[in-house]
């Protein structure tokens, strides 16, 4: 069963009153199977973040279909989704646990907040910093509290947009360890990333978007056939489809 099915997604933006709209998403179609960790990759401007914004209804596509699980309403499906944007906003005057409480209230979650907050703080190794102001968190700690809020309502599907962008080596190791544990728990995850080594280490499946079109959707192992690493396979693949564009 698919946790997400995207069909024929198209999106254009008007950059100037007198100019023709720029088509950012041309025909996006892919699936995310339940229990799989999927990497969404492609060059800058390929359409990755625009796709994610459409999935979350931060913007609306001009055309196409998005379905999470078997829900016909994305609004209902959002109750099952945890999300970390590429540039999350953190209220720096709040402590870690106050930040989680804010998101708990916004999500209208039920149950024991204090117990759940301690569980997710333990998952992301921030129990020691729960009463520290976010302004005193490092970049890596902020990313981890961001993942904690995404996990807070016990989602069935996690969507992460560049979760390791700008992190130092120690921060990346900590975030990867958290994501590996989630993968071991069969958490369905879609992760956008520029870091091919991280995608190769964490993900089982791969979606490649280039100039607003899907160029590959399938397993990483199949994509890597005849290549030693994902980077080698991607380099050869990119040379091929860029050559096709120039024919």
d(Cα 155, Cα 103) in Å, to the nearest integer? 13
In this predicted structure, the answer to whether residue 44 has a pLDDT above a threshold of 90 is: no
- Secondary structure class of 17 (helix, strand, coil): coil
First to last CA, the chain: 39
- Secondary structure class of 59 (helix, strand, coil): coil
Question: Where residue 93 sits, what CATH number does that domain have?
Answer: 3.40.50.300
The total number of structural domains in the chain stands at 1
pLDDT at 247: 45
d(Cα 17, Cα 21) in Å, to the nearest integer? 9
Tell me if 150 sits within 8 A of 81, measured CB to CB.
Answer: no
- Give the confidence band of 86 by pLDDT, cuts at 50, 70, 90: confident
pLDDT at 243: 61
pLDDT at 175: 87
* Range from 61-70, 103-112, 127-136, 152-161 carrying the lowest mean pLDDT: 103-112
Task: Return the closest-CA partner of residue 101 out of 87, 88, 115, 89.
Answer: 115
pLDDT at 172: 85
pLDDT tens-place string over residues 45-56: 888 999 999 999
The token pair at 141 is: 């700690």
**Which residues share a beta bridge with 12?**
23
The C-alpha angle 72, 35, 168, rounded to 5 degrees, equals: 110
Tell me if 42 sits within 8 A of 194, measured CB to CB.
Answer: no
Averaged pLDDT of the chain: 89
pLDDT tens-place string over residues 158-173: 999 998 877 888 888 8
- Which is more confident, 88 or 81? 81
Residue 124 is part of which domain span?
2-246
pLDDT at 131: 95
pLDDT tens-place string over residues 175-203: 899 899 889 999 999 999 988 999 999 99
DSSP character for 54? H
d(Cα 25, Cα 12) in Å, to the nearest integer? 7
pLDDT tens-place string over residues 120-162: 999 999 999 999 999 999 988 999 999 999 999 999 999 999 9
């Amino acid at each position: 069963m698919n946790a997400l099915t995207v069909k024929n997604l198209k999106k254009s933006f008007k950059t100037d009153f007198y100019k023709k709209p720029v088509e950012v998403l041309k025909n996006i179609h892919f699936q995310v199977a339940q229990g799989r960790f999927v990497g969404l990759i492609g060059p800058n401007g390929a359409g990755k973040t625009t796709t994610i914004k459409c999935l979350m209804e931060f913007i609306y596509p001009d055309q196409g279909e998005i379905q999470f699980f078997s829900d016909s309403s994305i609004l209902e499906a959002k109750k099952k989704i945890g999300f970390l944007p590429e540039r999350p906003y953190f209220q720096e005057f709040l402590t870690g646990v106050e930040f989680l409480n804010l998101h708990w209230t916004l999500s209208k979650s039920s149950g024991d907040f204090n117990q759940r907050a301690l569980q997710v703080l333990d998952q992301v190794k921030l129990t020691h910093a729960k009463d520290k102001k976010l302004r005193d968190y490092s970049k890596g700690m902020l990313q981890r509290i961001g993942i904690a809020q995404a996990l807070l309502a016990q989602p069935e599907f996690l969507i992460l947009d560049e979760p390791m962008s700008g992190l130092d080596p120690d921060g990346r190791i900590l975030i990867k360890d958290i994501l590996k544990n989630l993968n071991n728990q069969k958490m369905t995850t879609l992760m956008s990333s520029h870091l091919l080594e991280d995608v190769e280490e964490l993900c089982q499946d791969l979606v490649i978007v280039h100039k607003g079109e899907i160029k590959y959707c399938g397993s990483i192992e199949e994509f890597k056939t005849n290549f030693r690493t994902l980077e080698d396979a991607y380099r050869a693949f990119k040379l091929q489809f860029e050559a096709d564009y120039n024919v």
